[in-house]
Structure 1
Amino acid sequence: MRDRFSNRLGFILISAGCAIGIGNVWRFPYIVGQYGGAVFVLIYLFFLVILGLPVMVMEYSVGRASQKSAALSFDVLEPKGTKWHFMKYVAMAGNYILMMFYTSVCGWLFYYFYKMLIGDFNGLNASQINDEFGLMLSNPFVQVGMMFLVVCIGFFICSKGLQNGVEKVSKYMMLCLLVLMLILAIRSLILPGAMAGVKFYLLPDFSKMQNISEVVFAAMGQAFFTCQAFFTLSLGIGAIAIFGSYIDKSKKLTSEAITVVCLDTFVALVAGFIVIPACFAYNVDPGQGPGLIFQTLPNIFANMQLGNVWGALFFLFLSFAALTTIIAVFENIITMTMEWTGWSHSKTIKVSFVLVFVLSLPCALGFNVLSFIQPLGAGSTIQDLEDFIVSNNLLPLGSLCYVLFCTSKYGWGFKNFLKEANCGEGISFPKQVGFYVSYIIPVIILVIFIQGYISKFL
């Protein structure tokens, strides 16, 4: 018998936990800083609704209709003689490759939480704090040790089952995450000079948009990948579809997707209220890139009253955001493997644990022992390659497959998709948008896919 969530709240919070990842609080604030503040936010919200939401409804629908993970969902629903079931290989590869670098990033967050908690940054100057990140990356024992800890925690929680492990822990972590965010946002907003950051964040200044097409592409990418949570990047690899297979037909799936997208968007927007006002309060450029989290913000906390406390809370919040994603993807890996092989839950946990740990080693060692491997050119790392494979290839192409499968007469078909999506109470998926989801969304996804290569290599 198929596992079920104990209640709707569990489904919403776990789905949101899968969607909410480091991208919401790492990438979103600095992308906002780079592309004109509120102007970018408006464009991002627009693409989130017209692009991310429909794809999420489709993934949920495939999962709920098939009552299977991506390992077998296409086998169950595809027309006889078609090859949609090959999508299982994309889904499995996407989940594993995502975890190959995401576990290391989560380990960084755990490590910085610990360092903040014990006051390790106290008394250091700006240059020394900046150097701490590089020192961490260059230490293979820290890198592998923290990654191993993350993998252990994730699989231990999953070993307790859907309701007693994944659902229960994710609920508490998500609620703590939301509370921590609000506390940190309030603290940031009351800093002297923070209101300049709020103005930048909320009031559009179109004169700052030097290249409208560049801003639009950035917003499209963030909207598309924030539903997937950037480093999490759930859509397109079955990580969202699996949770559709765990729910009944009492609610229309558009309603559920809207709730999850709103919660995901709330986290991204509140993250902006944490980071951007603090940057303005301390005269820091919020658009300086990924170093904002691990180098700039620790400098801000070091100069703030009770900074080690606020810094520890900030990295604890980030750790929760990352770990909820890891738990969700581990659950997907476990379920896919069980359906694919017929193994027991216990055996699948053990084999998956070993595979994820071993496959995560190249990334953890790619900043030190294996730093001579620079697959995308001078200065690149193994993590860059893994991220590129997932975010620039498997995710957009996987999402494209879900869209085509749900709309094409050679796939599951738009009528079958609508019937499943609109079963139950709530907001219906409008059949009037059939042309848009069948033809326009695939074009948008292909544009994002091509733009990803252009921005990477040209």
Structure 2
Amino acid sequence: MSVRFSRLGHVLASAGAAIGVANLIIFPYRVHYFGGSAYVLAFVAFTLLMGIPLMILENAMGKRRGTDATDAFEVSGASPRWKLVAWLGILTTILVASFYLVLAGWTLEYVWKYATDYATVAATPAGPAFGEAIGNIPRALLFTGIFTGLVALVCSRELYAGIERLSKFAMPLLGILLVFLIVSLPIMQPQAVDYGNLLKFDWRALLLPSANGELGILHALGQAFFSLGLGAVAMLTFAAHADRDTDVLRSAPQIVHLDTIVAVLGALLVVPLLGGVQGDIYGGPPLVFINLVEIFKTYGDAAQWVGLLFFLLLAVAILTSAVSLFEPFLRTMTEHYGWERSWGSFVTGVLVFALTVPVVISCSPNGPEWLTDFANMGDPGLGYFNFLLEWAGSISLLVGELLLCWFLLKKWGLPALFDELAIGGPIVAPARRRRLTFAYRYVIPVGIGLLLAAKAWTLLF
């Protein structure tokens, strides 16, 4: 029998899988631009309406069989082709890992810079410094490889000694670092923080199109899906490690709430720092590696430690997410193809690292145009990186979530889901059955449909 998570280990590992770059970079950026607390409120509402029902579904499916993602789609009368949904999710996790670990490599390099050569960081404008960091292909591959090796090492251990122990250490550390920075930064440099953009409730910025046609409300809807990492079978796979008597109706909301809390804390940390930025505020990685680096420099003698702690915080968040990207593929290989964790995790690491190479090259100004402007998504450069971010990190997740709901409604069945939820917990009350049924039949498909339509419009027009 496979080793299982403890109940706390399952919740912390799943929350760690969800908590990552979306919480600490993407969410604060969107809060800043799309209505402040109005965006936060919309995000929280969507996690309650859609995030929790989907987390319940993925946890119940994974726990039901207790093996891996592909077996979760085995039910009476269901075609074996439904397993292709699991393989789509597994492929998604591998592709997401291929660009996620490149970002992890940049983060690790900045941890190294702040720890060993802060004088150079302080003396060099953040924009050119970041350009040099992502343009130096051998150095970027070195740090990406180191981080990939660390993820493989964690996954190579038995569950309690690897992923669970990491989660029990990393999640409290993440919280401590976040709270310390939130409290200390305004004390050390009051003029560097501005809470105006966070506290304002600007419904117009949320509901009306921006200058480039973006709708904040749709971003908040997408954030509720992407922040939780649903649709890529990582949560389903972690649930396969849970005990059979785990109360999913209790644990799934706990996972969602922990992720939401960290997202709000991330906004509380980052958004006030953006208030005094002169010039452009970038989306995505440049927000951290350019905007925040310049802000940290204003902290004088404490600047080195402020920057070091922040990049350590980001590295911890990325690490807990990265192990969840390895796990669906690794779990399937160990369950069905005779792999051992001790060496299978490193084979997975080599595979993912090989896939990171074109991503790293696409970020360098010296890379070939077919990668730097892949699918005409260079802005400039980062073409293949942006392509993976859009298709694997967004569209594929949405399709996976939609197929999960379809599988539930057409093959597994809502009565079977409710029976599964009663194992380890109380019988699902009629009112809750009605709410979940409405979510799976109408709310979630409509929400995903809107997001996919918006994606199609953006890509086509």
Q: TM-score, normalised by structure 2?
A: 0.91
Residue of structure 2 equivalent to 1:238: 233
Q: Residues 418, 286 of structure 1: CA spacing in aligned structure 2 closer, same or farther, 3 A cutoff?
A: farther
Q: Secondary structure of the equivalent of 1:162?
A: coil
Q: Which residue of the other structure, out of 338, 342, 349, is the alignment partner of 1:342?
A: 338
Q: Percent identity?
A: 27
Query: CA deviation digits over 1:381-423, x for unaligned, max 9?
Result: 21111112212322101111111222x2x31111111111232
Residue of structure 2 equivalent to 1:390: 392
Matched AA of 1:64: K
Q: Which residue of the other structure, out of 372, 379, 400, is the alignment partner of 2:402?
A: 400
Shift in Å, 1:304: 0.5
Matched, 1:117 2:119: no
Residue of structure 1 equivalent to 2:104: 106
Residue of structure 2 equivalent to 1:42: 41
Q: Secondary structure of the equivalent of 2:390?
A: helix
Residue of structure 2 equivalent to 1:231: none
Contact in 1 for aligned 2:156/2:344 (Cα 8 Å): no
Distance 1:457 1:120 in 2: 44
Contact in 2 for aligned 1:188/1:278 (Cα 8 Å): no
Q: Secondary structure of the equivalent of 2:425?
A: coil
Q: Which residue of the other structure, out of 167, 172, 178, is the alignment partner of 2:169?
A: 172
Distance 2:346 2:333 in 1: 12
Taking the TM superposition and a 5 Å limit, the aligned residue runs for 1:168-317 are 168-190=165-187, 191-193=189-191, 196-197=194-195, 199-209=196-206, 211=208, 214-228=215-229, 235-280=230-275, 282-284=276-278, 288-290=282-284, 291-305=286-300, 306-317=302-313
Matched AA of 1:142: R
Residue of structure 1 equivalent to 2:425: 425
Question: Which range moves more in the overlay, 341-350 or 10-19?
Answer: 341-350
Contact in 1 for aligned 2:125/2:294 (Cα 8 Å): no
Distance 1:123 1:176 in 2: 25
Q: Residues 200, 141 of structure 1: CA spacing in aligned structure 2 closer, same or farther, 3 A cutoff?
A: same
Q: Residues 224, 350 of structure 1: CA spacing in aligned structure 2 closer, same or farther, 3 A cutoff?
A: closer
Q: Which residue of the other structure, out of 126, 133, 142, is the alignment partner of 1:136?
A: 133
Residue of structure 1 equivalent to 2:66: 67
Shift in Å, 1:69: 1.4
Shift in Å, 1:217: 0.6
Shift in Å, 1:3: 1.8
Question: Which range moves more in the overlay, 214-223 or 244-253?
Answer: 244-253
Query: CA deviation digits over 1:318-363, x for unaligned, max 9?
Result: 0000011111222222112222323333442343222111112111
Contact in 2 for aligned 1:227/1:264 (Cα 8 Å): yes
Shift in Å, 1:147: 0.9
Q: Secondary structure of the equivalent of 1:370?
A: coil
Q: TM-score, normalised by structure 1?
A: 0.91
Shift in Å, 1:135: 0.3
Q: Residues 355, 171 of structure 1: CA spacing in aligned structure 2 closer, same or farther, 3 A cutoff?
A: same
Q: Which residue of the other structure, out of 443, 446, 456, is the alignment partner of 1:440?
A: 443
Distance 1:398 1:206 in 2: 31
Contact in 1 for aligned 2:102/2:140 (Cα 8 Å): yes
Distance 1:188 1:371 in 2: 42
Residue of structure 1 equivalent to 2:150: 153
Q: Secondary structure of the equivalent of 1:93?
A: helix
Residue of structure 2 equivalent to 1:25: 24
Shift in Å, 1:283: 4.1
Q: Residues 287, 268 of structure 1: CA spacing in aligned structure 2 closer, same or farther, 3 A cutoff?
A: farther
Question: Which range moves more in the overlay, 149-158 or 436-445?
Answer: 436-445
Contact in 1 for aligned 2:31/2:37 (Cα 8 Å): yes
Q: Residues 119, 456 of structure 1: CA spacing in aligned structure 2 closer, same or farther, 3 A cutoff?
A: farther
Matched AA of 1:289: G
Distance 1:248 1:339 in 2: 17
Q: Secondary structure of the equivalent of 1:250?
A: coil
Distance 1:286 1:23 in 2: 20
Where structure 2 has 5 or more consecutive residues not aligned to the other structure, the ranges are: none
Matched, 1:453 2:450: no
Distance 2:460 2:174 in 1: 37
Q: Residues 428, 294 of structure 1: CA spacing in aligned structure 2 closer, same or farther, 3 A cutoff?
A: farther
Taking the TM superposition and a 5 Å limit, the aligned residue runs for 1:355-370 are 355-368=351-364, 369-370=366-367
Matched AA of 2:389: D
Q: Secondary structure of the equivalent of 2:312?
A: helix
Shift in Å, 1:207: 4.8
Contact in 1 for aligned 2:395/2:452 (Cα 8 Å): yes
How large is the Cα RMSD of the aligned pairs?
Answer: 2.2
Query: CA deviation digits over 1:176-210, x for unaligned, max 9?
Result: 1110000011123334246741x431341335457
Query: CA deviation digits over 1:25-48, x for unaligned, max 9?
Result: 010111111112111111111111
Matched AA of 2:448: I
Where structure 1 has 5 or more consecutive residues not aligned to the other structure, the ranges are: 229-234
Shift in Å, 1:122: 5.6
Q: Secondary structure of the equivalent of 2:445?
A: helix
Q: Secondary structure of the equivalent of 2:182?
A: helix
